[in-house]
């Protein structure tokens, strides 16, 4: 069992995209805690941002106050995300799809996707992404699919099985963490959810460890400014083959 690794220099940010403002309970928040606990036991510095509690503007620019919005907490919140090794987007399912808060966060991350790191790669290179989803009946994969795609597209690495979630049987019903009559909580005994949340957490840890120890993704073949300047990294124009 190879767990000689240390993880206590890593940090993880969970973005909870529930539509429910604090202090009301967030079902997604319940699942985040399961994942977070595992990371914290390894000494990972974790933080949860509950997006709806913040005044985050809508748009695709780094600071929307420059686009007619009076206020925008994103630039401040983004500082935390920028330095995290692991970013997990977590959210609810509405009508089978991600919430508007999830989409807003993805839009704001996208707005930063042209930033470069000091090696000339897109700034998200070297970070690890994951997804946690809760709903009452249908859509974990649909929602995770979009989140993980978006993250990898802008530079995150997605380790194996980086998505986990809970849903009940089809139809209206309780959500993850709702109290049952016998006092236990819905979904907490789901072996599938518990296992997948655990595996996802560990795979994110392993990948973040590997990337951090390697100094990120090697900086060759993925440098936009060099490409623009004419470097082709062994690409051969198919026209001339």
> According to CB under 8 A, which residues from 87 to 126 bind its own copies?
94-104, 106-107, 110, 122, 124-125
Among 138, 174, 178, 212, binds its own copies (CB under 8 A): 138
Nearer to its own copies, 171 or 181 (CB): 171
Among 77, 81, 89, 158, binds its own copies (CB under 8 A): 158
The answer to whether residues 167 and 139 touch, using CB atoms and an 8 Å cutoff, is yes
What is the residue whose two structure tokens read 């686009």? 67
Q: What are phi and psi of 114, to 5 degrees?
A: -90, -10
Nearer to its own copies, 80 or 94 (CB): 94
Binding mask 179-198 for its own copies (x = CB under 8 A): -----xx--xxxxxxxx-xx
Residue 124 burial (CB count, 10 A) = 23
| Distance between CA atoms of residues 77 and 9, nearest Å | 21
The answer to whether residues 224 and 117 touch, using CB atoms and an 8 Å cutoff, is no
Nearer to its own copies, 16 or 197 (CB): 197
Q: How near is the Cβ of 198 to its own copies at its closest, in Å?
A: 4
- The residue among 197, 190, 152 whose CA lies nearest residue 169 is 190
| 25 in contact with its own copies (CB under 8 A) | no
Q: How near is the Cβ of 227 to its own copies at its closest, in Å?
A: 5
| 42 in contact with its own copies (CB under 8 A) | yes
Tokens encoding 173: 């019903």
Q: What are phi and psi of 38, to 5 degrees?
A: -65, -45
| 46 in contact with its own copies (CB under 8 A) | no
């Amino acid at each position: 069992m190879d767990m000689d690794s240390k993880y206590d220099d890593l940090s993880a940010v969970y973005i909870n995209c529930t539509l429910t403002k604090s202090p009301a309970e967030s079902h997604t928040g319940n699942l985040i805690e399961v994942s977070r606990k595992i990371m914290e036991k390894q000494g990972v510095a974790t933080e949860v941002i509950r997006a709806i509690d913040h005044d985050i503007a809508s748009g695709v620019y780094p600071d929307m106050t420059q686009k007619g919005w009076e206020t925008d907490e994103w630039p401040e919140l983004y500082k935390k995300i920028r330095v995290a090794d692991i970013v997990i987007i977590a959210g609810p399912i509405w009508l089978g799809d991600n919430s508007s808060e999830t989409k807003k966060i993805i839009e704001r991350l996208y707005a930063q996707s042209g930033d470069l790191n000091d090696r000339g790669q897109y700034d998200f290179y070297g970070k690890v992404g994951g997804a946690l989803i809760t709903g009452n009946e249908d859509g974990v994969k649909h929602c995770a699919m979009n989140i993980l795609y978006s993250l990898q597209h802008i530079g995150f690495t997605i380790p194996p099985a980086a998505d986990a979630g809970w849903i009940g049987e089809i139809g209206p019903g309780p959500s993850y963490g709702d109290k049952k009559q016998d006092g236990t909580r819905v979904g907490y005994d789901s072996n599938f959810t518990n296992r997948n949340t655990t595996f996802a957490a560990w795979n994110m840890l392993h990948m973040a460890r590997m990337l951090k120890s390697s100094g990120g993704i090697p900086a060759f073949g993925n440098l936009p400014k060099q490409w623009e300047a004419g470097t082709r990294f062994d690409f051969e124009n198919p026209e001339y083959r």
